[in-house]
Amino acid sequence: MKNRFNHFFIAAVLLSLTACYYDHEEILYGAGSNQPCTDSVGTVSYAQKVVPILRTSCYGCHSGSFPSGNQLMGTYAADKAMAQSGKLYGTISHAGGYSPMPKGGAKLSNCQIATIKKWIDGGMLNN
């Protein structure tokens, strides 16, 4: 009888633990992965669209006196240099040969990546 109780107790604990499992879409797939992408339509503003993405996902590690990986960002000139070299798009799109960024965080959403790509393809204007 005690053995049956132990099995019942273990089964109840396991069921309760699996009932608590849930996924956060923004953690698994990046924020706004199912949202329509309107930011990459037309001319992309560096100040209004690109900087907020970079501030949230890049500047925390890649600014200041000792930027991570010795890759300084946080100014238009530095961000443009990263974009011109191909490192910005390569890292955020997780392309082969580049270190996927943001390190330890969720990949940027497809919309955020498309917005930055549109800015790069548009000549990386300081607008």
Q: How does pLDDT run across 76-88, given as a tens digit for each residue?
A: 999 999 999 999 9
- Report pLDDT digits (tens) over 89-98: 999 999 999 9
Range of the domain at 68: 24-121
Alpha-carbon distances, residue 4 vs 11, 17, 18, 76 (angstroms): 11, 20, 21, 68
In a domain, 11, yes or no: no
Does 33 fall in a domain? yes
The number of folded domains in the chain is: 1
Is 15 part of any domain?
A: no
CA 124 to chain centre: 20
**Could you tell me if residue 50 is inside a domain?**
yes
**9 in a structural domain:** no
Determine the straight-line distance between the first and last CA of the chain, rounded to whole angstroms: 75
The two tokens of residue 80 are 């443009």
Does pTM surpass 0.85? no
Inter-residue contact 35 to 116 (CB < 8 Å) = no
Whether residue 88 lies inside any domain: the answer is yes
- What distance lies between CA 40 and its chain's CA centroid? 16
